[in-house]
Structure 1
Amino acid sequence: MIKKLGKRAFAVVFSVSVLGLAACSSAPEQQDIERVPNKSAQALYEDAKQTLDSGLYARAIELLTALDSRFPFGPYSRQVQLDLVYAHYQSGNTEQALATIDRFIRLNPNHKDLDYMYYMRGLVNIKADKNAFQEYFGVDRADRDANRTRVAFQDLSTLIKRFPNSNYVPEAKKRVVWLLNRMARYELKVAEYYYEREAYLAAANRGKYVVEHYSQSSYLPQALDIMEKSYEKLGLKELAEQTKQVKAVNQRN
């Protein structure tokens, strides 16, 4: 049926469909805003803050969103964005939290709370990468793609470099160490996968990647092990011996 329509007709149909979807998706949000009583910016923010402090995150998001919509340039506008990030994070709405953070950073490049936004961006990406159900039951998920972990690592590294005196730096440094180990573990899992399937060159290269990029992680010994075993399988005795020597030095240190 679509093939019979001209380009202009198809464009009109497509546009109407998109507008219909947009209207459906925005309707619930508009209804949420309409349910919020008409109050001054100060009174509305006090309600939102009290609700947020009480841990009622869904209701806090409704109040803050209404405040942001009704008073976009008011005295509470930036603080509302900060609170919305926290509320979305706590409610598990990571995509909305990231969108709010990115918007804030883009519009307020010199804001005094920019360090908080980078810190929260790291935390949100960590949460987005987690699977609470799997972790609760102790299922090993190190074989999952580590893209979110890498982004979180970059966010927190940016915080540490750009805002060395920030109050969030000590906690960020702890999380960076955890993220470094997680990324190294992922690479090691991939290396083991290749080794088990006799793809020894690929296994060796993955182990080498850990040595070159995550040498400060706790998975350095395992990476050297798989490199040595892979080189031996490939008949690369010289490389295997060199790796063995690096292992010995590493064990002494």
Structure 2
Amino acid sequence: MVLAVSVDMKKSARVVAVVLAAFAGSSLITACQNDPDIDITKLTAETDPPEVLYNQGLANLNAGKTTEAARKFEAIDRQHPFSEYARKALVMNAFVAYRNGQYQDAINASSRYLNLYPQSEDAAYAQYIQGLAYTKQIPSVTQDQKPATKAIEAMQAVIDKYPDSEYVDDAQAKIRFARDQLAGKEMQVGRYYLERKEYLAAISRFRTVVEQYPNTNQVEEALARLVEAYYAMGVTAEAQTAAAVLGHNYPDSQWYADSFKLLQSGGLEPRETGTSWIARAGKKLIGA
């Protein structure tokens, strides 16, 4: 009797095992059909040699399977940390994180790469990825512009450390964009003070734009706002100088036309005073 029960139990165990296996298989097939980012190379554990894992990561990346690509590159870093492929995988992880919009992860991976391999052939690319990740996080001028400052620092490092790299031109373009944002933030705050007739506070902001961000797209308005603020305070010499510098650099600007009209309403005209800070700053502007 005991023997019979044991046999039945063994049969039952085999049946359960078969059912579970069949269920697992059907679940796996369903998962494969529904998962948009399933590994296109294999589903087994990550135990392949580093070069195989790296090629599998590239294959997944080329197929748009970025999650699986990252898993392959991470497996190399985890299982073969001192291999040449680990170095390559780390910079690829930075790229994949950037592609996925995981900007802080991209910054972390690129920073780690630069700390480990500062003189490698991919160091310029890692630095560039870091700059791109910061650039993507730059918000509107109504918000804090810390990412813009970080983007400038990262992209300037591309230019300074890797001047012969293919990323220099775009790094310069990204710096111009970030500086425009920083200048725009100063203008936003300056306009806030100007609307409230807090002229000295407004002038301080507009002066920052003219002196620190002379080659940005905010300078024309900054000069015009200086004309407006100084004129409202009765400091006509500075108002005239700001208008003269504006007219010299941007003669066809609507901002200059408005400033000229404002001065004319008070019987004044643009006239530069050589001792003014505005005249000195004007020599650094785009059209000087």
> Do both share a fold (TM > 0.5)?
yes
Q: Is residue 61–residue 84 contact of structure 1 (8 Å, CA) maintained in 2?
A: yes
The 5-angstrom pairing of residues 79-94 of structure 1 reads 79-94=88-103
Corresponding residue for residue 145 of structure 2: 146
Structure 2 CA distance for partners of 1:163 and 1:185, relative to 1, 3 Å: same
How many residues in Structure 1 have an aligned counterpart in Structure 2? 210
Question: How far off is 1:199 after superposition?
Answer: 2.1
**SS of the counterpart of 2:46?**
coil
Question: How far off is 1:92 after superposition?
Answer: 0.9
The 5-angstrom pairing of residues 1-253 of structure 1 reads 36-130=45-139, 141-252=140-251, 253=287
Which is bigger in relative contact order (C-alpha 8 A, separation at least 6)? 1
Q: Could you tell which deviates more after superposition, 72-81 or 58-67?
A: 58-67
Q: Which amino acid aligns with 1:57?
A: T
Corresponding residue for residue 15 of structure 1: none
Question: How far off is 1:129 after superposition?
Answer: 2.5
Question: How far off is 1:198 after superposition?
Answer: 2.3
Q: Which amino acid aligns with 1:37?
A: E
Question: How far off is 1:126 after superposition?
Answer: 1.1
**SS of the counterpart of 1:124?**
helix
Q: Could you tell which deviates more after superposition, 144-153 or 105-114?
A: 105-114
Deviations, residues 72-99 of structure 1 (Å, cap 9, x unaligned): 1112011011100000001111111111
Q: Could you tell which deviates more after superposition, 104-113 or 34-43?
A: 34-43
Corresponding residue for residue 26 of structure 1: none
Q: What is the CA RMSD across the aligned residues, in angstroms?
A: 1.8
C-alpha distance in 1 between matches for 2:241 and 2:132: 40
The TM-score with structure 2 as length reference comes to 0.68
Q: Which amino acid aligns with 1:41?
A: P
Structure 2 CA distance for partners of 1:236 and 1:73, relative to 1, 3 Å: same
Structure 2 CA distance for partners of 1:37 and 1:108, relative to 1, 3 Å: closer
Q: Identity over aligned residues, as a percent? A: 26
Corresponding residue for residue 31 of structure 2: none
C-alpha distance in 1 between matches for 2:241 and 2:45: 69
Deviations, residues 4-43 of structure 1 (Å, cap 9, x unaligned): xxxxxxxxxxxxxxxxxxxxxxxxxxxxxx9743211121
Question: How far off is 1:50 after superposition?
Answer: 0.8
C-alpha distance in 2 between matches for 1:36 and 1:232: 74
The structure having more radius of gyration, on CA atoms, is 2
Q: Is residue 180–residue 218 contact of structure 2 (8 Å, CA) maintained in 1?
A: yes
